[in-house]
Structure 1
Amino acid sequence: MPAKPAGFELDPRLERDSQPLMWLGLCELRLMDDRRWPWLMLVPQRPGILEIHDMTPLDQTMLIFEMNMVSQALKAATGCHKINIAALGNMVPQLHMHVVARNEGDPGWPGPVWGFGMREPYRREDLHQFVNTIRSALSQ
């Protein structure tokens, strides 16, 4: 993975709750370590950015491009009914975009994934398998 830009620090909560998956260009793609939902996260590698409107127009465009690419790959890899995308930032103000695959009947459906139950970490084998599935879907 390329070196992080000068001054960029990943929020410790994001680092604790997710696993690095790959570098996309602007964003590092991470996998939320909660097996209840296929849940990816894009973290723009820009220091001090809290909101999308804090980014340059070019970075905003790149973020949308990468978000679309990840959403399409996640939908293709999971066959999900719906993709949820959000940038809440209430608990972790550093800008990060959640991309979550949802299906009717999944835990918490149709409500949001945040604040529902307790996180269920992946088994190591399942984590590696899902990471490989996403990487493969992104290379299509």
Structure 2
Amino acid sequence: MSSHADCPLCTTDGGEVVWRDAVMRVVLVDDADYPGFCRVIWQDHVAELSDLDATSRAQLFDAIVVVERVLRARLRCDKVNVASLGNMVAHQHWHVIPRFRDDAHFPQSVWSARQRDVAPTLLAARQALTVGLAEALRGALAQSFAPLASRP
């Protein structure tokens, strides 16, 4: 991974790593309001999606889709937001965020003003759905990105 001393995604993992290969990693973000919040992070310091070649872009989007599918299946969320802003951290990474109609910010983005408080019991129930999520993500990503020669 090329390193930029001032880039937090070059100097830290950016969350709890659940899967990594030579070009990207998937992390779980510690966000109490959004259990299951993930990031798909390109390993090399690349600021813009258009800086990646077509094969790399396809790999990145394939990983985002795998993460989204696992989140939908495991968390039974109402929506999944996928966003790449890069305004604060100019390192190619995508936020994959499970959303619920009654979450703290819905229907706005998670970076907008809060719309409501969410009962701790509801957040605890959503957090309980994340038990085994890391393993499910790891398995799905490993299967999707297994070397072609080893696929059945």
If the TM-score is normalised by the length of the shorter chain, which range does it land in?
A: 0.7 to 0.9
Identity percentage of aligned residues: 23
Q: Which residue of 2 aligns with 1:106?
A: 103
Q: Could you say what secondary structure the match of 1:130 adopts?
A: coil
Structure 2: gaps (5+ residues): 115-126, 141-152
Q: Which residue of 2 aligns with 1:120?
A: none
Aligned-residue RMSD, C-alpha: 2.9
Shift in CA distance, 104/59, structure 1 to aligned 2, threshold 3 Å = same
Map 1:105-124 → 2, pairs under 5 A: 105-116=102-113
Q: Which residue of 1 aligns with 2:53?
A: 56
Distance in 2 separating the partners of 1:76 and 1:103: 14
Q: Which residue of 1 aligns with 2:38?
A: 40
Q: 4+ residue stretches of structure 1 with deviation over 4 A? A: none
Length, aligned pairs only: 126
Q: Could you say what secondary structure the match of 1:105 adopts?
A: coil
Structure 1: gaps (5+ residues): 118-125
Shift in CA distance, 94/137, structure 1 to aligned 2, threshold 3 Å = closer
Q: Which residue of 1 aligns with 2:139?
A: 139
Q: Could you say what secondary structure the match of 2:16 adopts?
A: strand
Distance in 2 separating the partners of 1:12 and 1:131: 27
Residue 130 of structure 1 pairs with residue 133 of structure 2: no
The one-letter code of the counterpart of 1:136 is: A
Largest Rg, 1 or 2: 2
Shift in CA distance, 73/9, structure 1 to aligned 2, threshold 3 Å = farther
Distance in 2 separating the partners of 1:116 and 1:19: 26
Tell whether the 8 Å contact from 1:8 to 1:45 is kept in structure 2 after alignment: no
The Cα of 1:94 is off from its aligned counterpart by: 0.9
The Cα of 1:12 is off from its aligned counterpart by: 2.2
- TM-score, with normalisation over the residues of structure 1? 0.76
Distance in 1 separating the partners of 2:95 and 2:52: 17
The Cα of 1:20 is off from its aligned counterpart by: 1.8
The one-letter code of the counterpart of 1:65 is: D
The one-letter code of the counterpart of 1:130 is: T
The superposition leaves residues 42-62 of structure 1 with CA deviations (integer Å, 9 ceiling, x where unpaired) of 001123x10110001110010
- TM-score, with normalisation over the residues of structure 2? 0.70
Distance in 1 separating the partners of 2:84 and 2:69: 18
